[in-house]
Amino acid sequence: MAAPLHLLPALLRLLLLLLPATPEATPISLLGISYGRVGSNLPPPSAVPQIVATLGLGRVRVYNPDPATLRAFANTGVELVVGVPDECLAAVSTPAGAADWVRTSIQPALPATKIGYLTVAVTTPHNLGVLATSFPPSSATFRKDLLPMLCPILDFHVRTGTPFFINAYPYFAYAEEPSRIHLEYALLEPGYPGVADPVSGLHYTNMLAAQVDAVYHAIAAANAAAGRTVEVRVSETGWPSAGDANETGASPQNAARYNANVMRLVSQWKGTPLKPAVPLRVYMFALFNENLKPGPTSERNYGLFKPDGSPAYELSYRLPKDNTNSGGGGYNGHGDGSEESGYYSISAAAKTTMGWWTWTRASVAACVAVLVMAL
């Protein structure tokens, strides 16, 4: 269904967090993982919590309130971020519809299953395709044609205290320009000397931090208030363990190095050079290889685990043991990474074709209010 011009495009499906983040932040709360189920050979949901436990993660993102999945995580202490599926948006656009959806889809799992957040899909997490420039990070700006849509979103984040989500994939930047980008920089290797921003003077030892700061700078350039108050979180990041012949860098060795380094960075609670006091909150993509995902071979090989539950590769780093679950984040959507977006390119979630629902501000607010009260 075609979208009226006044609606936000598929590039910008705003992720709405419904509950406030806990101020305390620990490694286990800052890092989560996506549990997608686009596969015909995946393990049953009952087997998944134990697999998650082997990673030491305390938070899992699921895309819909599948009853078997919610039951599987009962009494585990793992915090779930549960998405309202796109096909349900029309139904939950009224207070009565939202209340009914919560009553039938969420409440049966409570309180045994720890559901910390619900996400309502109004726009997708953003990718660097929304930027007119991305390098150096301090010069990053949003595309002028998208500002009429992005500025209201930033205003919304300022008013509600919610974060701005990005799908950050150094892999795509490296695969597009392997002769220009050092592999160690894209893999977040701690020994890499780094890249300097010639304008700000800040030094970037890894590309993920540079991608995040590019978005921070673009936000500040578009909305000064948002630049001071809106937090950028990584709704997806990962590295494929296999790919087509033209997908440079897709290998088990590189995937193992990248994801281990993501875990190491998050466990050290370090922010970016621009925002050193703000812990970097990240969701890794993904838990399993999903054999029914469309697109290039890499799309079916982002999993840390094979469908039989065995590791796709061995990680050289493990999160420190921690029994505290806190913090916040969430996202919806995963792209094919083919969007041309420059030196610090981010996964092209915009390429995914999605349905459209006409949402008024009143209907969104009503849905949010009912969902919050229900939890």
Question: Which is the catalytic residue, given 184, 231, 236, 339?
Answer: 236
For residue 259, the one-letter residue type is: N
Q: Please, which residues have CB within 8 angstroms of residue 47's CB and are 6 or more apart in sequence?
A: 72, 309
Would you call 79 a catalytic residue per the annotation?
A: no
Q: Is 299 a catalytic residue?
A: yes
Nearest Cα neighbor of 268 from 169, 190, 370 is: 190
> How far is 254 from 270, CA to CA, in rounded Å?
23
Question: What is the C-alpha separation between 176 and 346, in angstroms, rounded?
Answer: 11
Sheet holding 31-34, edge to edge: 13-17, 114-123, 79-84, 59-62, 31-34, 282-284, 232-237, 164-167
Which member of 79, 184, 247, 299 is catalytic?
299
What pairing do the DSSP bridges indicate for beta strands 79-84 and 59-62? parallel
Catalytic residue among 293, 306, 339, 351: 293
CA distance 223 to 179: 35
Q: Report the interhelical angle of 207-222 vs 147-160 (nearest 10°).
A: 100
Catalytic residue among 290, 314, 321, 351: 290
3-state secondary structure 110-172: CCCCEEEEEEEEEECCECHHHEEECCCHHHCEECHHHHHHHHHHHHHHHHHCCCEEEECCHHH
Whether 231 is catalytic is no
Is residue 290 flagged as an active site residue?
yes
Task: Measure the CA–CA gap between 204 and 219, rounded to whole angstroms.
Answer: 19
Count of beta carbons in the 10 Å neighbourhood of residue 316: 12
Question: Counting Cβ atoms within 10 Å, is residue 194 exposed (0-12), middle (13-18) or buried (19+)?
Answer: middle
What residue type is assigned to position 20 of the chain? P
Kindly list the catalytic residues: 236, 290, 293, 299
